[in-house]
Structure 1
Amino acid sequence: MAPSLADPVRPSLPTMDHTTDDNVTAGEVELVVPDMFTSIMSVELAQNPHYAEVKKEADAWVAEILGYSEKQAARNSRADFAYMVSWWVGPHCDAETLRTLIDWNHWAFYWDDQFDEGHLKDDIYGAAREIIHMMSLLDDGHPGVSREEDPLGYIFQLVYRKFQKRTSPALQYRYKKYVEQYMLGVLAQVNSRKADLKTMTVEEFMVFRRATVAAMPCMALVEYALGIEVPEDVINHPSLKACQEVSVDLVAIHNDILSYKKDVLSGEDLSIINILRSQGWTLQDAVDETGRMLDGCYQRWYEALLKMPSWGSTTDRIVSTYLEGIRNISLGCLLWSFWTERYFNREEGRLVRETRRLRLPIPPPPSGSAVKV
């Protein structure tokens, strides 16, 4: 069996009371968020040493390609996708490879924002056309895309061609499959905006959410970055698939907690917290339940390791590296969530991580429901 990545015994942690801060003003609520750095998330990661230099290059390049104004370029720099990626791969890849992963994430976040808060948010037909176009760029026979006429397509195609140069047809197929699953999930997200949250269970929502967080394509990119390739029969083993699902779920749950303030301010309804609220949970109880969901993820990870067979020393080493890599995707995204200014300013992110207290405007009831905070 592939070796465990962390001690399955969780440390005893102090509990946090739910006493409201005296400084919370009218129209605000303060939430106590779960401790997200326990179990397999408790390890110390090493950051890639090329982070600072490659961030500067990648930020300048994407600003030029996408025609950012000075204000937009500064906002993108503060979002700092390079910071997130630099934890995924640690010291195990060179500057050129790190740059490829950063470029992909610049594409992914900008592309995804069109469907979250941009012009395709409620346009199912426009969303479908955009997805068909992007998928066509992964066809080996597709001509090169003009950076002037289609800057997002140019970035997407360029990254894939760099990926192709150092990967086998099998890993290229895996990447394409994961990208397709993600894009179909985005299309379902656009279509779901008409749905009544009260009719959706948490389990149903998680099936939907797994496809929309773009974590699966990142797993193929991490294989590329770490210089490994898990054999196809091994990657499809139930134990490996269970660990993939846990990694994706951790990204989704962490994101739905830490982006909740941003969601409230932007009027976004679709989140695990709002699914629970629509079913009658108070806001704090819904957040507490996400903590129990995280505990369930850790349990599923260790159960998968217990059922994982050995494929021989060579493959087991590859599997062990892969498991560490997909765990680091989750942990890198978590570290980034407190650092990036997409969700908080830098000081607020530091305080939320240290105190586990998140202050935000009192959110309205989820669409189609009558619930209380």
Structure 2
Amino acid sequence: MEIPRLSDGLILPMEKAACRNALVSVRLPNMFVLFLSEKPATNTYYETVKQESELWIARICAFSDRTRRTITNCDFSYFCSIVVPDASPLELQTICDWGNWVFPFDDMFDNGGLKDDPIQAQQLVNSLLNGMQDNGTVSDDNEEHPLVQVHNSVWRRLAKVSPVGVRRRFAKAMRDYCNGAIEQVHSCSRGEYPTLDEMLALRRQSAGVSPLFALVEYGHKLHIPDSVFETRSIKEIERIGIDLVLLQNDILSYCKEEKEGVTHNMVAICRRAGMPAQMAFDHIGGMLLSRYHDWYLALADLPSWGECIDSEVQQYIRGVQNVVKANLHWSFRSGRYFGKANEEVRKTGIVTVQPQSADVELSIL
């Protein structure tokens, strides 16, 4: 079978897929491996901050009861408590507020009212980015969209106490994230289907992972020289961390996004290119394995800057690692992807997806 326009490693061997009740059963790649096999540490203040953060954003945004329940069940505060296990309650709440903001904001571009409306999407993004100034100030936001007000508050708190380098890295990460989200909207509105490599490049921006790295600096009060972030090994560690999160996410979110008609998913791209379902999941799993290999090579290439800086750099690298670990463990705790089937999927590794032509052809071989 010819698989058009796919790259990023070899295509893994194809296995027969089991069809049952017009659905195709698929075994997920084993992702609880290497440093992801360890049980994550969580912040002591998680439970208290979770309640405060959810109440705060619900009040600012006037969320409906349904949206409040969605935010509570999503439980992104658990994710954040793994990312910064040693943060104080004040810093943890700021990070949880950003986390509880990013999902309703991101959903507007993924499957909400902005997914195919580039003009309105650009206006919202402009409003959000205008709220962040290099000098740490924030514009008057009384007339802004409630989600912009939430983000302005997060920026104000971060900018008040963070070194200029942290502010700039967070602001750049947010610009990249928003630009990626806008490009995704343009692609959707034009009915375009990117290749796997094109999607990977786009998702490195639009997945919203890199702002979390700057929030690690803020949450753990790190003071790392800007020059450190220009070294090849640190850039590679960040790139691999982002890839691991978005590859995990596209594997674990596929069933939910398939039902919602979301097309910017790398498993979906593989299936659209002609792969049977199991082969598509295995292919993305193979991409994960190559990133684990790259991770340890990047660590081995890390230079030394002296004891004091090295200590903070190691905390930062653990923070990147914690983001990857948080994403995986949170995905099987929150109800966002598998609902009440979390434990069953975690135990069996089996999910069901809608059949496509390649699965039907395979089932009759």
Match of 1:352 in 2: 345
Structure 1 residue 311 and structure 2 residue 305: aligned?
A: yes
The alpha-carbon distance between structure 1 residues 95 and 363, as it changes in their structure 2 partners (threshold 3 A), is farther
Tell me how far apart the structure 2 counterparts of residues 158 and 134 of structure 1 sit (CA, whole Å).
11
Structure 1 residue 324 and structure 2 residue 318: aligned?
A: yes
Given residue 225 of structure 2, which amino acid in structure 1 is its aligned partner?
Answer: P
Q: 1:79-126 CA distances to partner (integer Å, 9 max, x unpaired)?
A: 111111111112x11111111011011111111111111111001111
What does 1:206-217 align with in structure 2 at a 5 Å threshold? 206-217=200-211
Match of 2:9 in 1: none
TM-score (normalizing by structure 1): 0.87
Tell me how far apart the structure 2 counterparts of residues 363 and 238 of structure 1 sit (CA, whole Å).
43
Deviation at 1:365, TM superposition (A): 7.0
Secondary structure (helix, strand or coil) at the match of 2:115 reads coil
Deviation at 1:208, TM superposition (A): 1.1
Deviation at 1:242, TM superposition (A): 0.6
Q: 1:205-258 CA distances to partner (integer Å, 9 max, x unpaired)?
A: 211111111110110011110111322111111110111011101110111011
Given residue 141 of structure 2, which amino acid in structure 1 is its aligned partner?
Answer: V
The alpha-carbon distance between structure 1 residues 166 and 18, as it changes in their structure 2 partners (threshold 3 A), is farther
Deviation at 1:276, TM superposition (A): 1.4
Q: 2:141 aligns with which of 136, 142, 145?
A: 145
Structure 1 residue 34 and structure 2 residue 53: aligned?
A: no
What does 1:98-109 align with in structure 2 at a 5 Å threshold? 98-109=92-103
Match of 1:290 in 2: 284
Tell me how far apart the structure 2 counterparts of residues 175 and 149 of structure 1 sit (CA, whole Å).
21
Secondary structure (helix, strand or coil) at the match of 1:288 reads helix
The 8 Å contact of residues 280 and 371 in structure 1, kept in 2 or not, is answered as no
Tell me how far apart the structure 1 counterparts of residues 68 and 352 of structure 2 sit (CA, whole Å).
28
Matched-pair identity in %: 32
Tell me how far apart the structure 1 counterparts of residues 137 and 91 of structure 2 sit (CA, whole Å).
24
Q: 1:167-218 CA distances to partner (integer Å, 9 max, x unpaired)?
A: 1112111111111011101011111223543xx4322221111111111011
Q: 2:221 aligns with which of 221, 227, 236?
A: 227
Deviation at 1:312, TM superposition (A): 1.2
Secondary structure (helix, strand or coil) at the match of 2:25 reads strand
Secondary structure (helix, strand or coil) at the match of 1:359 reads strand
The 8 Å contact of residues 277 and 371 in structure 1, kept in 2 or not, is answered as no
Tell me how far apart the structure 2 counterparts of residues 207 and 365 of structure 1 sit (CA, whole Å).
28
Tell me how far apart the structure 2 counterparts of residues 272 and 372 of structure 1 sit (CA, whole Å).
21
Structure 1 residue 46 and structure 2 residue 41: aligned?
A: yes
For structure 1, the 5+ residue unaligned runs are: 1-16
Match of 2:170 in 1: 175
The 8 Å contact of residues 179 and 205 in structure 2, kept in 1 or not, is answered as yes
Structure 1 residue 186 and structure 2 residue 186: aligned?
A: no
Tell me how far apart the structure 2 counterparts of residues 317 and 344 of structure 1 sit (CA, whole Å).
38
The 8 Å contact of residues 264 and 363 in structure 1, kept in 2 or not, is answered as no
Q: 1:299 aligns with which of 290, 293, 299?
A: 293
For structure 2, the 5+ residue unaligned runs are: 1-14
The 8 Å contact of residues 276 and 356 in structure 2, kept in 1 or not, is answered as no
Given residue 349 of structure 2, which amino acid in structure 1 is its aligned partner?
Answer: R
Secondary structure (helix, strand or coil) at the match of 1:339 reads coil
Given residue 199 of structure 2, which amino acid in structure 1 is its aligned partner?
Answer: F
The 8 Å contact of residues 201 and 275 in structure 1, kept in 2 or not, is answered as yes
Match of 2:107 in 1: 113
Match of 2:5 in 1: none
What does 1:126-145 align with in structure 2 at a 5 Å threshold? 126-139=120-133, 140=136, 142-145=138-141
Deviation at 1:364, TM superposition (A): 5.2
Deviation at 1:363, TM superposition (A): 5.1
Tell me how far apart the structure 2 counterparts of residues 260 and 132 of structure 1 sit (CA, whole Å).
30
Tell me how far apart the structure 2 counterparts of residues 237 and 35 of structure 1 sit (CA, whole Å).
32
Given residue 144 of structure 1, which amino acid in structure 2 is its aligned partner?
Answer: D
Q: 1:158 aligns with which of 153, 156, 165?
A: 153
Deviation at 1:143, TM superposition (A): 3.1
Match of 1:6 in 2: none
Secondary structure (helix, strand or coil) at the match of 1:207 reads helix
Give the RMSD, CA atoms, in angstroms: 2.1
